[in-house]
Amino acid sequence: MSQIIVEKNSRIFKKDNKQFFYLADTCWSAFTNITLEEWEYYLNLRKTQGFNVIQINILPQWDASGTELNYYPLPCDDSFPKIFKFTEFNQEYFDRARHMCEMAKEKGFELALVVLWCNYVPNTWASKMFSKMSSNNIMPYEFIDKYIEKVNETFSDLNPIYVISGDTDFDGEDTKEYYLKAANKLRKLAPDLLQTLHIRGRLEVIPEEFIELIDFYMYQSGHNAENPAMPYLLAKNFYEKYPAKPIINSEPCYEQMGYSRNMYGRFYQFDVRRAAWMSLLSGACAGVTYGAHGIYSWHKIGKRFGLGIGEGFDSPNPWNDAVKYPGAWDYGYIKYMLDLYGIHELIPIDKIMNSTDDIRMASTRGEDKILIYVPANTNVRIDKNLSSYDIKIIDMVSKNVFIPSVEVKDEKTTIYMHSFEKDVVIVMRKK
């Protein structure tokens, strides 16, 4: 069975000796909340949209929506929220999870499986929050080996990417010890499988102990409306400050997610599309992850959402509405467009002369192709002579193509305004 690999000092993934653009959807609560019939429908739709990776939490997601299903990996009572007994495993849970993964693989998806979400690990923001509720689910340190062996036994022959941490910060030494133990144990049992960390939103630092251990970087620009620059600032940070490895924005704002911290408002199609393009052209070119509010928690009509704690997101629509949000098609179009133009690695270029950082620019090696993302219409001024390029503007709403007026003066180029209403990508190819 072929698998995704990362070559030394590379910014992209490869599979079967070809570039692999990681286009993931977020379905954290798959193993606990989704019926097999729903799973079949979901996978078929995402496949038609061009997705090739599904991100799933192996253990129950702490903020999954309510469910009538009764699938749990460990013994627990009828309390709410569930408190697990870290003794023996519920084999039925792991057999079913395995079957769901096999279904995804048969349809051509890769798996990105989160091993230990932060609420299962001491001294993270989530475990501290739950300790105040007297409902702590911290996994005993001595149980980690047994759990990792079960994970390896259940999933490793399917060649998943192992996402060792979920939404985590690293404020405590014991937090690092937990994740180091899990990562090292999995590396010993499954040495050829890729590992990474899913870190807390807007976090820009990975502890030094993990840099050589992980194969690529995941950051999340997150769901805070007060930080709209995070998609490109975090990409730039990991691109410039860390050893060369693939970078992915693994959790940009989810479509129709309520703003975090109980702030009124939601992210819509434009917002999630903006986050994707800004990430890709700022250093995080290995791929991108989409998310829809109502999908990650697999919400159903009449069921509770969340626990009333955490970042305080507003309620979602049910999954069968959320799965049809239009932003998913925009993410599929990104992959299609990059394939169409034969674009693999993208190198950020700091040549935009406009008085904003929101216009992002990147090129292929050798600069035979250049992309510029323009979120709001304006004349784009570039500190480079682009007279040798064929220049077109693609509307990200209609996907219509516009031939712009271009002026080159004093070795600087101005690409004049287009006629579209929202964001565009300017595509330049050397003649």
The string of pLDDT tens digits covering residues 315-337 is 999 999 999 999 999 999 999 99
Q: What is the pLDDT of residues 216-225, one digit of tens each?
A: 999 999 999 9
Is residue 307 predicted with pLDDT exceeding 80?
Answer: no
The CB density around residue 14, as the number of other CB atoms within 10 Å, is: 16
Task: Convert the pLDDT of each residue in 133-185 to its tens digit.
Answer: 767 899 999 999 999 999 999 999 999 999 999 999 999 999 999 999 999 99
To the nearest 10°, report the CA torsion of 234, 236, 242, 248: 60
Query: What percent of the chain is modeled with pLDDT above 70?
Result: 98
In tens, the pLDDT along 194-207 reads 999 999 999 999 99
Mean per-residue pLDDT of the chain? 96
Residue 306 has pLDDT above 90, yes or no: no
Look-up: residue for tokens 């890729």? 194
Which residues in the chain are classed under CATH 3.20.20.80?
13-340
Average pLDDT estimate for 100-127: 97
- Predicted confidence (pLDDT) at residue 267 exceeds the cutoff of 70: yes
CATH 2.60.40 domain position(s) in the chain: 349-430
pLDDT attached to residue 308: 60
* Tens-digit pLDDT profile for residues 157-169: 999 999 999 999 9
Tokens of 277: 């393009």
Round to whole Å and give the CA distance between 169 and 188: 25
Distant-in-sequence, close-in-space partners of 216: CB < 8 Å, separation ≥ 6: 6, 13, 194, 196, 245, 246, 247, 248, 286
Q: How sure is the predictor about 79, in pLDDT bands with cuts at 50, 70 and 90?
A: confident
Sequence-ordered list of residues with C-beta below 8 angstroms from that of 355, at least 6 positions apart, any chain: none
CA-CA distance, 151 to 143, in Å (whole number)?
Answer: 12
pLDDT over 90 for what percent of the chain? 94
- What fold does the segment set 349-430 form as a domain? Immunoglobulin-like (2.60.40)
Domain 13-340 class in CATH: alpha beta
Kindly tell me if the per-residue pLDDT of 262 is higher than 90: no
The reported pTM is 0.97
